[in-house]
Structure 1
Amino acid sequence: MPETPHPLNFRKSSYSGSGDNCVEVADTPGTSAVRDTKRRTDGYLPFPTNEWAAFLTTLTR
């Protein structure tokens, strides 16, 4: 996990369903961090904001 000078405030993704299979996202300048709700202590994956936006656009097609 890269170090970030900004605190990560994770929230449940609006794309997660209502069951136990959820992901959480946190936004920082230029980056979106994603983690598994069930495995928070395993860390997170950072993505450049534009790449995360492109991924979400693809999901909604």
Structure 2
Amino acid sequence: MLVYVESHYYKERTRKGVYQLISDYVRGVSVELEVVPGLFSYKHIDEGTRLLIEYAEIPEKGVV
């Protein structure tokens, strides 16, 4: 499946040092996300993202 993303929503990395790694536990599993300022939450996993992760159907041996 091809997914096209509008350019105003996502752009390729153009600057170094802006990205930050945030981590937390969701569903008892350590989750790490690479984030940038202005996109969702920059300091912690926001509630919308947490809900998406909590309700995602991930196979027991799946890798995401």
- Provide TM-score, normalisation by structure 1: 0.26
Higher alpha-carbon Rg: 2
Structure with greater proportional strand content: 1
